Amino acid sequence: MAKKKGFIENLGKIYGFYTVGFLVFVVIMAVLEQIGVPNKVIGYLFIAMTICIYAVIGVLARTAQVSQYYVAGREVPPVFNGMATAADWMSGASFVGMAGSLYILGYDGLAFVVGWTGGYVLVAILLAPYLRKFGAYTVPDFLGSRYGGNVARLIGIVILFCCSFTYVTAQTYATGIITSRFLQIPFEWAVFIGLTGILVCSMLGGMRGVTWTQVAQYIVLIVAYMVPVIILSFQVTGVPIPQLMYGGVLSKITALEQSIGVSKLTVEPFTHYNPLNFFGLIVCLMLGTASLPHILMRFFTTPSVRSARLSVGWALLFIFFLYFTAPAYATFAKYEIYANVIGSQITELPEWVNLWSNVGLLSVADGNGDGILQLAELKINRDIVVLATPEIAGLPYVISGLVAAGGLSAALSTADGLLLAIANAFSHDVYYRMVNPKADAESRLIVARILLVVIAFGAAMLARTKPADILSMVAWAFSIAASGLFPALVLGIWWKRANTAGAISGMLVGFGVCLWYLVGTRYGGMDLIFGIGNISAGLFGIPAAFITMIVVSLATKAPSSDMQRFIDELRVPRGKSLAQNR
């Protein structure tokens, strides 16, 4: 116990030394580049460092205790839990995909920034403190206890699996892009490389190991995200504060767009999404954020109810650093491409064009035969904008390696949390709660670890097929979570009259409607209703779930008086965990 207490008290020093060590590694890579070490070798070293350091943390944090495997012993201070939550949240979608979407969509890409950030406000106000006070291990655990039985628990597990598996496939896809480019191996095999670090950490350390790993991953990803855009800001404007300087660069981009005849200017709103799709996407992302099981699990790791609320505040601050920078990143990336790439001789394009073309996410075609690259002749996937920007801008290759390490950290951190959410739900809520209530700690952990391997392998196999871009897959996951889980979670806390029949009906209807629209419009040839894209399928599932749950709850027997008194006590955002049925 004294050893554990000493570790917690010295977290600042431990991660301070880790940060210094990481920066020293980057400096060493820069020196190696200057003395002529090939870029490919430097890329290998960055990828190897990223995976190995997190695997080492997983080994050091290994545990055989069920409580620490599921909830990290509830010992994590709010500031570090906030940092781990930010890393868990800022996935490949945020690191790799967000600036790329702003690059492609311009103003309309802000729907992702607003939706995801606003979702954390809902988490802080409506859910996190109360779920922590409830004392559950998992979201299905809450559903099973609140709605009195295994049916609600099982439906929650099915929804959790569908949204989390979709999300983890997107993260595996991101790791495949990064490792394929920087290790220069086929994408179909690269997706399996990143899973090595994920499995070593999450299998051995569980939530405890993943928590301390995600703190380390946040440090790497935020440094990797900030450094290139700070350098670009200084080069273009003379001021190394990109968050304040990109407005002037937007004016330059607008002038360049007008000179080359771009019809949809970056600064014009509603050019890619109409208002209904723009604000609808924001709603789906906000409610989805407040429903994602791997995010809500983070607040089960705090020492107290108050700490859960503080953790959300710290998480918002740490997320703010990247989200506030993403528009600047997209702006400087677009400026570099317009100013230095468009108009170049196609036969003289730099090597990065060929390397990214080999990954299959960039193409160049001399459509009019003049040998000059026009904007329409450059097809660049949004998922490589952040990763390719250092090379596009002609920065030293060590910066590209740093960005790769950051992107891999972001994808691995979220994949860790997602895999644990899925595996823990099956091992704890299905195997232990429903199949074998007498299972000892060892057998429960064995089941969880086997499931981690199976699910990770399945996600890698699906990611190999490149089912969609990262942000689309992530948006699907958010709509599924919001439609299936948000009404049951919120009404379960804030409406005493919500009962078992209402929750079961609401979850089934919301989940079913969302899945029907998503699959039908994406794969079944179904026409869009009101022009709403399938990334906002939750616009149909969420109201259907709320209406069904309220109507059925009012039409059937109210919960017991004991449960209603329990909910009254639960809504007091102070005090100790109630740990019902625990």
Please provide the DSSP assignment of 363-406 as one string.
Answer: EE--TTSSSB--GGGEEE-GGGHHHHHHHHTT--HHHHHHHHHH
Q: What is the mean pLDDT of residues 433-461?
A: 78
* pTM score of the predicted model: 0.86
The per-residue pLDDT for 264 is 66
The 10s digit of each residue's pLDDT in 513-564 is: 999 999 999 988 899 999 999 999 999 999 999 999 999 999 999 998 888 8
136: pLDDT strictly greater than 80: no
> pLDDT class for 50, splitting at 50, 70, 90?
confident
The per-residue pLDDT for 150 is 83
Higher pLDDT, 552 or 93: 552
Joined together, the tokens standing for residue 404 give 């790769």
581: pLDDT strictly greater than 50: no
Type of residue found at 224? A
Type of residue found at 124? A
> pLDDT class for 1, splitting at 50, 70, 90?
very low
Torsion of CA 14, 396, 324, 220, to 10 degrees: -20
Q: Please, which residues have CB within 8 angstroms of residue 250's CB and are 6 or more apart in sequence?
A: 266, 267, 331
Higher pLDDT, 469 or 58: 469
CB 158 within 8 A of CB 481: no
Highest mean pLDDT among 296-310, 405-419, 489-503: 489-503
Percentage of residues of the chain with pLDDT beyond 70: 89
Q: Give SS3 for 345.
A: strand
285: pLDDT strictly greater than 50: yes
> pLDDT class for 226, splitting at 50, 70, 90?
very high
The per-residue pLDDT for 257 is 79
64: pLDDT strictly greater than 60: no
Eight-class DSSP state of 240:
S
CB 296 within 8 A of CB 424: no
371: pLDDT strictly greater than 60: yes
CB 473 within 8 A of CB 124: no
Q: What is the mean pLDDT of residues 278-297?
A: 90
The per-residue pLDDT for 2 is 47
Pairwise CA distance, residues 413 & 406, whole Å:
11
CB 75 within 8 A of CB 302: no
Pick from 36-50, 328-342, 431-445, 484-498: least confident: 431-445
The per-residue pLDDT for 413 is 77
The mean pLDDT of the chain is: 84
The per-residue pLDDT for 530 is 92
The per-residue pLDDT for 427 is 76
Pairwise CA distance, residues 43 & 47, whole Å:
6
The per-residue pLDDT for 73 is 45
Quickly tell me which residue has 């995200």 as its tokens.
Answer: 225
> pLDDT class for 580, splitting at 50, 70, 90?
very low
| First CA to last CA distance, the chain | 23
Q: Please, which residues have CB within 8 angstroms of residue 491's CB and are 6 or more apart in sequence?
A: 498, 502, 503, 506, 546, 549, 550, 553
The per-residue pLDDT for 61 is 60
Joined together, the tokens standing for residue 186 give 């086929």
> pLDDT class for 85, splitting at 50, 70, 90?
confident
* Domains of the chain (ranges, CATH numbers): 2-468 (1.20.1730.10)
The 10s digit of each residue's pLDDT in 471-487 is: 888 899 999 999 999 99
Q: What is the mean pLDDT of residues 45-74?
A: 65
Q: What is the mean pLDDT of residues 155-177?
A: 88
Pick from 117-131, 253-267, 334-348, 451-465: least confident: 253-267
CB 272 within 8 A of CB 108: yes
Pick from 2-11, 360-369, 452-461, 568-577: least confident: 2-11
DSSP conformation letters of 257-311: HHHTT-SS-TT-TTSSS-HHHHHHHHHHHHHHHTT-HHHHGGGGSSSSHHHHHHH
DSSP conformation letters of 465-476: T--S-HHHHHHH
